[in-house]
Each structure stands twice: as structure tokens, then as C-alpha cells.
Amino acid sequence: MTTLLALDTATEACSVALLHNGERYSDYAVIPRQHAQQLLPMIQALLAQAGVPMSAVDALAFGRGPGAFTGVRIATGMVQGLALALDRPVLAVSNLALLAQRAWREHRAREVAAAIDARMDEVYWGCYRLDAHNVMQLQGLEAVLPPEHVSLPRDMLAEHCFGAGTGWAYAERLAVKPAQCDVSLLPHAEDLLSQGLAAWQRGEAVDAADAQPVYLRDKVATPKQA
């Protein structure tokens, strides 16, 4: 694979990224409630900047959640539509993994407790460790739970851990106290390139129809009955 297109809209941030012949391009904007209008123009502009036609894309990666239900659906719908039209495979990557990968890229954090504000007095939670290929790997399970109930895997120490994501706005209530944290971090499609390539190498690509969101919550918002 020489060309990977990545996109994410699971949080307030809307971002796209492209890997083409070893070169990386990306665009990122914090634009709440504008994702549906801005995502496709951002993709088109990025491809134009790189001089790459849509038909040259070999695979697509997207942030499959957890995150805002509407945002996750927007990314899922867009990547399914593009992948079906192009007849290309899809790589679905956790948004918590993207947070951890960004913490490595920007803060050089090797062990990360990623937390996204899940509303309803809960956080989406996942713990990650950097592997030998500089890719963050999940340790244990991802979950949605009250801040007081979070925990680290047995072999991760809080004093060696970096807290990443909006869930750390609950820092006073979170049961884990890391050495450092960055509550402003949001998932970025640039980190989808690293995670997506690793998923590709693990053979995790799926057909467009099988690219599904992961909400972690059992109860997903549905339209009210008339």
C-alpha cells in the first residue's frame, strides 16, 4: 500500500490525513457541529494539495469511536461511501488509540491513559503502551465508566503514565493520578496514518460494509418515536 487516506470526526475536532509515497499531509480543525459540512471539502482540498486523485487511494482509515455518537456516524458513513465507490478496504481504529498515538507524537509519552469525556458523568477509557515500532498498543480493555472507577493495568504505574484527552477534565475525580496530563488533546487523523498502517500489517482491513462504529455504550441515541 502506497496511499492511505484517513479521516476522523468523533470529537469536536475534524481532521483528515494522507500518506502518499512516504509523504504525510494533514488538515485539522476544531469545528463542533460542522463536521458533516466540512469533511468532504477537507478531503478534496488535501488530495488536491498532494496532487493525488481519489482513485489513487489504496485504503481508507477512520476513527471508529468511542466519541460523540453523531460524529462517529459521520466518519463511518463517509468512509463507507468512499470505500464502496472506490472498491477499497477500510481500517477502523479506536479514537482512544489515536489519542495515545498523539500523546507519543507530541509529548513523547510511552504509556498513556486516554480518556474522552463521554457525558452522562462518565469517561471513555483506555490504557496504551508504545511498542517497538512506535505504535501505541491497547493494554487491557477499553470501557465507559464513572471517573472514580477507572484503573490502570497491573504493570502500568501512574507515575510513569501520561493522561491524554478531554476526560481528564475530571482529574480530581479520576481514580488514576498520572505524572502529567493534557486535557486539550483530541484525536488527530495524522495519528490514524500510523495506527492504520499497523492495522493493515496485522491484516485488519475490512470491506466497506463491515466498517462499523464502536460506541462502547449499549444505549445509542435514537430518534424519538412520533
Average pLDDT, the chain: 94
The tens digit of pLDDT for each residue in 76-108 reads 999 999 999 999 999 999 999 999 999 999 999
The Cα-based distances of 88 to 78, 79, 81, 91, 100 in angstroms read 13, 10, 10, 10, 27
Type of residue numbered 68: A
In the predicted structure, residue 16 carries a pLDDT above the cut 50: yes
What does the pLDDT look like over 152-210, one tens digit per residue?
Answer: 999 999 999 999 999 999 999 999 999 999 999 999 999 999 999 999 999 999 999 99
Whether pLDDT at 15 is above 50: yes
Distance CA 12, CA 165 (A): 12
Report the pLDDT averaged over residues 105-113: 98
Whole-number pLDDT of residue 29? 96
If pLDDT is split at 50, 70 and 90, which confidence band does 125 have?
A: very high
Degrees (nearest 5) of the Cα angle 208, 213, 217?
A: 160
**What pLDDT was estimated at residue 100?**
98
Q: Is residue 130 predicted with pLDDT exceeding 70?
A: yes
> For the residues 119-139, what does the mean pLDDT come to?
97
Position 217 scores a pLDDT of 81
- What pLDDT shows up at residue 218? 67
Q: State the sign of the Cα–Cα–Cα–Cα dihedral 31, 36, 38, 40.
A: positive
Report whether pLDDT(26) > 50: yes
**Prior bond of 153 cis (ω within 30°):** no
pLDDT at 2: 84
Q: What is the pLDDT of residue 226?
A: 36
Q: Is pTM, for the whole model, over 0.85?
A: yes
pLDDT at 222: 40
Percent of the chain with pLDDT over 70: 96
pLDDT surpassing 80 at residue 1 = no
Give pLDDT, residue 96.
98
